[in-house]
Structure 1
Amino acid sequence: MPIQYKGQGFSLRGEKSRFVLPPSFRKDFADKGDERILCLGKHERWPCLKAFSQSAIAGFEDILDREEEAALRRDKDYDRELRGAQLLSYVEVPFDASGRFVMPDHLTDLAGLGDEVFFQGGMPFFTIWSPDKLYSMGEAWNNAQANCRTLAESAKKKAKAK
């Protein structure tokens, strides 16, 4: 069973251009026995990145089956090959025991990420947002937006105190 990511986090780009994965997400990897490798790719609908562990890959065929069945029930077209390519369009990025990792430039560009990122749990995956992109998402995202503002303020105060 894949990891179930819950909660939020925030990271400022630090020394050596590294971001820091929230402790609760790092713990999920450790508890599951997964290697310290993030699978990162562009989210298929939102202007952010989607992240998951290597153990989630085993469930991709089930995702394709469910989505295809749902499309058939709604009499909609479903391009299984395209969707499979979307699911498998990720990059493996290692992180250290402290959760530090370097975001690949092409993913930073795809998601419009800068020197600040917000992590939002989403059960079998989590998302990584530019705060500005998240703030533009509308009312449905009010809770995540408020969490991002609070965590950003705290991270910036902490950075100034150093």
Structure 2
Amino acid sequence: MAQKATVYSGQGFSLRGEKDRFVLPAKLRNPLAEASGERTLCVSKHDRWPCLTGFGKDRVDTFEDLLDELEDKAIARGDMAFDRELKSAALYTFTPTNFDASGRFNLSSTLFELGDIGDALYFHGIGQIITIWNPEVLLAQGPEFAQMQAYCRQEMAAANAKGKGK
């Protein structure tokens, strides 16, 4: 059994800066770097929500156990349509994205497209993943996202206030 992946909690906001870089907030990047000793954020498309997800390389070590569990549950409920390879493709299709000591990183053009990314990102740690949102897309979601939306508005306001102070 693989060890549990790092758990992420907290929020953050980043405007696209010079050289098209964003900044991963310290409260999310520090556990990521500490868990693996590397500054790598694995980024992929969320399987149900219109956002990206980020996680550390340590989470990849849990994928086979997760696939076994999903397959066992599918068999137990008589779901013969479970496609392990398709689920594997969803899990293992990610882009390792390096960040510097200050958390600055670039996203590939594919991730920009998949995440409908513009000039800002909102980060929200939700356990074993960090959701990475275009703030406009998050704010357009339904009431089930109300808590994330409130934090997003707060983080955006703080970033705008900081920008006006310059």
Per the normalisation by structure 1, the TM-score is 0.95
- Which of 32, 47, 50 is the matching residue for 2:50? 47
**Count of matched residue pairs:** 162
1:95 partner amino acid: F
- 1:10-159 correspondence to structure 2 within 5 Å: 10-76=13-79, 77-159=81-163
Contact 1:34–1:54 (CA<8 Å) still a contact in 2?
A: no
Structure 1 residue 136, shift from structure 2 partner: 2.3
Helix, strand or coil at the partner of 2:112: helix
Structure 1 residue 137, shift from structure 2 partner: 2.0
Structure 1 residue 106, shift from structure 2 partner: 1.1
Q: Which runs of 5+ in 1 are unaligned?
A: none
Structure 1 residue 25, shift from structure 2 partner: 1.1
Structure 1 residue 120, shift from structure 2 partner: 1.1
Q: Which runs of 5+ in 2 are unaligned?
A: none
Per the normalisation by structure 2, the TM-score is 0.92
Root mean square deviation of aligned Cα: 1.2
Contact 1:41–1:50 (CA<8 Å) still a contact in 2?
A: yes
Of all paired residues, the percent bearing the same amino acid is 44
Q: Deviations over 1:38-63 (max 9, x none)?
A: 11111111111011111111100011
Partners of 1:33 and 1:63 in 2: how far apart? 20
Helix, strand or coil at the partner of 1:92: strand
